[in-house]
Amino acid sequence: MEKAGIATVSLCLSKEIAEQLNIPRALYNRFPFGSPVGQPNNKQQQHQVLQAALQLLEEAEEGGTVRESGIKYK
């Protein structure tokens, strides 16, 4: 998709793997595996994750950017 000019952000649960894969942009969340956008039915938390991903999309200036969201899994 990136080669076609469509920017992407990946949600990841392992910072080390995201860094090794050298994906264009990744938002790292310290959440349990299987919950990349947060707790089930927690719409506020899921909205925070999506907002952080869109912000990363706007701000990342170089490939391979991995940013920790800082959002707590409650």
pLDDT at 62: 82
User: Mind listing the pLDDT tens digit for each residue in 6-59?
Assistant: 999 999 999 999 999 989 999 999 999 999 999 999 999 999 999 999 999 999
What pTM did the predictor assign?
0.90
Q: Identify whether the C-beta of residue 47 lies closer than 8 Å to the C-beta of residue 63.
A: no
User: Mind listing the pLDDT tens digit for each residue in 40-51?
Assistant: 999 999 999 999
Helix (H) or strand (E) holding 52: helix 43-59
pLDDT at 74: 80
Gap between the Cα atoms of 64 and 66, Å rounded: 6
Gap between the Cα atoms of 14 and 29, Å rounded: 8
Could you state, in order of their start, the residue ranges of all structural domains in the chain?
10-68
Q: Identify whether the C-beta of residue 49 lies closer than 8 Å to the C-beta of residue 1.
A: no
